[in-house]
């Protein structure tokens, strides 16, 4: 609890740091925003995440909540902006935006274009002034850098941070009894810290939650970093409890938890059952991994998943304080 209060206090301090209070421009209704993700962003930066964080802070500065989502691939998103269905569209890139008499826009920090209805030109001007003030704060460069740096644990030799979400990893890893850098390593493997990550199987967000998990763990917005991490950690906790009496020790329990997060608990239990039939120690992950090739399930992906997360964790232990 002491650690939680410590990190919660740090989070509140950061919020106060970046909130530029003004009289609300609206009646307190949520700021509705859609982010266009083309999937062609530079892999060395987290532009969707950066813009998501900025829009959240803008809304808080206005005394509002925010409802932020990704724009659908076939959605006529600018029409939605014009008809008032949403308040703001974000292009997370430095590309220019063509003129339209019904729209107004500003380039935000060269890392995004924010588009408003022309009828909300005062709001667009407020956002531009707010961003200008934010950039002057002495802590802003570090905040920005956490989204703009290159995230490759195989290349980095040292760093002051791992991701923009380190404070969330610290809080939620505590509930698992994990080193927070292990949770960061898992998320890096799943999404490379991109909140907009989406797999062909429908998994989404930082922890690549599948639709069933999203429904089961009350994740109303998988794009939201904290909601995604919180729900993913709840799933990890449930998996950990399933194997807690079976694993040989805490190291093996973590291996089983990682494997089941990737492949599902049922497949790991099938591997355990086969290992028992073969008379090998089923409480150790390496023995379970060795019998996968005798099953219909191809376990190469899962074995690689566990190996890579462990590798990233080891790297993070040395490159970040």
The CATH code of the domain that includes 132 is 3.40.190.10
pLDDT exceeds cutoff 50 at 10: no
Per-residue pLDDT, 42: 55
19 — pLDDT class (breaks 50, 70, 90): very low
Query: What's the pLDDT tens digit per position in 31-78?
Result: 999 999 865 555 568 999 999 999 999 999 999 999 999 998 889 999
CB atoms within 10 A of CB 90: 24
The CATH code of the domain that includes 221 is 1.10.530.10
**Do residue 32 and residue 105 come from a single domain?**
yes
Domain membership of residue 151 (yes or no) is: no
**Do residue 99 and residue 210 come from a single domain?**
no
Domain membership of residue 198 (yes or no) is: yes
**Do residue 235 and residue 199 come from a single domain?**
yes
Domain span holding position 70: 18-145
Contact 297, 291 (CB under 8 A): no
Domain membership of residue 7 (yes or no) is: no
**Do residue 257 and residue 121 come from a single domain?**
no
**Do residue 216 and residue 299 come from a single domain?**
yes
pLDDT exceeds cutoff 90 at 109: no
Q: Which residue has the higher pLDDT, 2 or 70?
A: 70
Query: What's the pLDDT tens digit per position in 205-214?
Result: 999 999 999 9
pLDDT exceeds cutoff 70 at 2: no
**Do residue 101 and residue 197 come from a single domain?**
no
Q: How many CA atoms lie within 13 A of 69 on its CB side?
A: 13
Domain boundary among 145, 174, 208: 145
Domain boundary among 145, 180, 209: 145
Domain membership of residue 5 (yes or no) is: no
Give the separation between CA 232 and CA 208, rounded to whole angstroms: 8
The token duo for 204 is: 């989404």
**Do residue 315 and residue 254 come from a single domain?**
yes
Domain membership of residue 6 (yes or no) is: no
**Do residue 105 and residue 207 come from a single domain?**
no
Q: How many CA atoms lie within 13 A of 227 on its CB side?
A: 18
- Residue the block writes with tokens 């998996």: 239
Query: What's the pLDDT tens digit per position in 129-146?
Result: 999 999 999 999 999 999
Give the separation between CA 282 and CA 57, rounded to whole angstroms: 49
**Do residue 95 and residue 204 come from a single domain?**
no
**Do residue 78 and residue 218 come from a single domain?**
no
Q: How many domains does the chain have?
A: 2
DSSP symbol at 71? P
Query: What's the pLDDT tens digit per position in 187-203?
Result: 999 999 999 999 998 99
**Do residue 122 and residue 183 come from a single domain?**
no
**Do residue 108 and residue 237 come from a single domain?**
no
Q: State the catalytic residues.
A: 190
Domain membership of residue 154 (yes or no) is: no
């Amino acid at each position: 609890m002491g650690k939680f209060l410590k990190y919660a206090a740090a989070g509140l301090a950061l919020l106060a740091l970046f909130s530029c209070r003004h009289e609300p421009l609206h009646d307190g209704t949520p700021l509705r925003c859609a982010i266009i993700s083309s999937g062609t962003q530079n892999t060395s930066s987290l532009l969707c995440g950066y813009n998501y964080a900025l829009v959240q802070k803008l809304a808080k500065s206005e005394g509002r909540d925010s409802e932020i989502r990704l724009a659908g691939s076939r959605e006529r998103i600018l029409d939605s902006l014009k008809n008032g269905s949403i308040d703001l569209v974000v292009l997370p890139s430095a590309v220019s935006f063509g003129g339209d008499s019904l729209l107004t826009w500003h380039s935000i920090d060269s890392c995004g274009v924010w588009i408003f209805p022309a009828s909300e030109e005062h709001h667009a001007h407020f956002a531009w002034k707010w961003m200008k003030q934010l950039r002057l704060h002495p802590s802003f460069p570090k905040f920005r850098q956490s989204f703009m740096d290159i995230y490759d644990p195989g290349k980095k030799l040292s760093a002051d941070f791992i991701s923009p979400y380190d404070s969330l990893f610290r809080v939620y890893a505590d509930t698992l009894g994990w080193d927070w850098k292990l949770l960061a390593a898992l998320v890096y493997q799943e999404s490379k810290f991109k909140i907009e990550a989406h797999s062909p199987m429908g998994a989404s967000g930082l922890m690549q939650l599948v639709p069933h998990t999203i429904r089961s763990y009350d994740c109303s917005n998988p794009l939201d970093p904290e909601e995604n991490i919180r729900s993913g950690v709840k799933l990890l906790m449930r998996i950990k409890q399933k194997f807690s009496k079976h694993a040989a020790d805490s190291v093996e329990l973590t291996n089983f938890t990682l494997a089941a997060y990737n492949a599902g608990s049922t497949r790991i239990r099938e591997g355990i059952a086969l290992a028992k039939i073969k008379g090998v120690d089923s409480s150790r992950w390496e023995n379970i991994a060795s019998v996968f090739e005798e099953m219909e399930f191809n376990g190469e992906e899962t074995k690689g998943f566990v190996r890579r997360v462990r590798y990233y964790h080891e790297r993070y232990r040395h490159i970040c304080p």
